[in-house]
Amino acid sequence: MKKIIITGILCLLVVAYIFAQAKKQPLAQASIKRGQKVFESTCIVCHQKNGGGVPRLNPPLIKTKYVLGDKSQLVQIVLKGLNQPIEIEGETYNNVMPSFAQLTDEQIADVLTYVRNSFGNKASAVTPALVKAERAKTQ
């Protein structure tokens, strides 16, 4: 009897987990789709369609520590821009990236979720709530 109850509980947990995952996926997919549009209208001129950037001018967005790393720092880069020498795969970049604080919290979350899941990148989604919290820090 005890075994049956434990097995029953385990089954329920597995089912609940599968449902939670299934619910999460389409949300991220929708965000990635919207993010692609933001990328194409806002970031593509410098970082290029394939995220490869432009040698010595605009860094690539492919598996860099900024793209895959700390999400708060990544959000800050979009909110404030970046103007300091950075090194990516032995190449130094020191051009200016302007601020994109004019984008909405959702647009920034979407574009970063798109970038973190494109060009060979695979990482968790960025939420509008995180962008909102990071924006509050800059004001």
Residues that bind ligand HEC (CB under 6 A): 42-43, 45-47, 58-61, 64, 66-67, 74, 77-78, 82-86, 88, 93-98, 100, 111, 115
Give the span between the Cα atoms of 109 and 88, in whole angstroms.
23
Nearer to ligand HEC among residue 83 and residue 124 (C-beta):
83
| Residue of 20, 47, 22 whose CA lies nearest to 111 | 47
Nearer to ligand HEC among residue 3 and residue 43 (C-beta):
43
What is the sign, positive or negative, of the torsion defined by CA atoms of 135, 74, 127, 39?
Answer: positive
Distance of CA 35 to the CA centre of its chain: 9
Residues 6 or more apart whose Cβ sits within 8 Å of residue 38: 103, 107, 110, 111, 114
Q: Least distance from C-beta 58 to ligand HEC, angstroms?
A: 4
Q: Least distance from C-beta 54 to ligand HEC, angstroms?
A: 9
Give the span between the Cα atoms of 76 and 35, in whole angstroms.
17
Nearer to ligand HEC among residue 32 and residue 111 (C-beta):
111
Give the span between the Cα atoms of 29 and 14, in whole angstroms.
23
Q: Least distance from C-beta 121 to ligand HEC, angstroms?
A: 10
Nearer to ligand HEC among residue 8 and residue 43 (C-beta):
43
Q: Least distance from C-beta 15 to ligand HEC, angstroms?
A: 37
